[in-house]
Amino acid sequence: MTFLTDKTHLIRKLESVTPLSAGEKHAVLELPMTQRPLGAHEEIVRDGDVSNACVLILKGFACRYKHTAKGSRQIFSFHISGDIPDLQSLFLETMDHSLATITPSHVAFISHDSIRHLIRRHPRLAEALWRDMLVDAAILRQWIMGIGRRTAPSRIAHLFCEQFMRLRTVGLTNGNTCKLPLTQSDIADALGLSTVHVNRSLQVLRREELIDLRKGELKVVNWDSLCKRAEFDPAYLHLVSPFASAA
C-alpha cells in the first residue's frame, strides 16, 4: 500500500470523535476502495446525481456547493484528507448539492455496499460515522451563525480557526501554519461575501497581526486573539480529549 492510498487521515479523524479499537481500525483499513487522481476544479459528484459509492479525500482540498439560479455559488464546506464529504449518499439517494476539488487531489471511492457491510459488523464504527455526520451538521450551524450574525473579518477569522483545527486533528498543520489553498473568491462564496470585501477584510486581519494568508499557506500569528476575534469555541467540533486542546 503506497502512501497515497492509505487511510491514516480517515482513522485519525474518526478517532477524533470516537475512540476505536485495533480491530475496528483494521476493519477500516481493509475497506476496499478504488483510487483516482483528479485535477483542480473537477466535479466529483453533481447536484442531482445518484451514486453507489462514497468519496474519501486522500489528499488535496475539495468543497461542497450549490449554485443560485442567477449563477452565484454558495460553498457549504471545505474538505480535507480523511473527510468523506458525501457520506450522506449512503442514506439519501440523490445529491442535493455538488462536490468538487479545489486543488489537484487524490480521492478514493468506497462502495456503499462495503460501508454498509462494515457498519453492520462494527456498531462502534457506525456510531463513529454517525458522529461524523452530526459534527458536519454542527459545522453547518456555525457557518450559519457566522453568515447571519458576524461581521466579515470575524466571519473569516472563524473560518480560519475551524480549518486550522480540522487540519490539526488529521495532522496537517506545521506549528502555527498550514496549507489552505483557497482563493479569495472561494472564501467569498463560502461566507456570503464579495471577493473585494474578502480582500479588504483579509488586510484588516493582517494589519491586526492575527493571521497571514499568502500563496495558499495560512500562518496563525496569534491564535488566542484570532479566536477572540472570531468568537471561536471549538466545542461544536466535539473532539475527544487528546484532540480537544486549543492549538
Partner DNA sequence: CGCCTATTTGATCTGATTCAAACAATGTGG
Partner DNA sequence: CCACATTGTTTGAATCAGATCAAATAGGCG
Q: Which of residues 16-45 bind its own copies (CB under 8 A)?
A: none
Measure the N-to-C terminal CA separation of the chain; round to a whole number of Å: 32
Of the pair 200, 219, the CB lying nearest DNA is at 200
The dihedral over CA atoms of 230, 231, 235, 241, expressed in degrees to the nearest 10, equals: 70
CB of 196 to DNA, least distance (A): 4
Distance CA 43, CA 54 (A): 14
Taking residues 104 to 133 in sequence order and writing x for each that binds its own copies by CB under 8 A, - otherwise, the string is -----------------------x--xx-x
Q: Is 135 in the site for its own copies (CB under 8 A)?
A: yes
Contacts of 130-134 spanning 24+ positions with Cβ under 8 A: 131/17, 131/18, 131/238, 132/13, 132/14, 132/17, 132/84, 132/87, 133/87, 133/88, 134/238
Cell matching residue 157: 477569522
> What are the residues binding DNA (CB under 7 A)?
151-153, 183-185, 188, 192-197, 199-203, 215
Q: Which does 31 bind (CB under 5 to 8 A by kind): its own copies, DNA, none?
A: none
Nearest distance from residue 36's CB to its own copies, in Å?
25
List residues near its own copies by CB under 8 A.
Answer: 48, 64, 66, 68-69, 72, 74, 76, 88, 91-94, 96-97, 127, 130-131, 133-138, 140-141, 143-145, 147-150, 191-192, 231, 235-236, 238
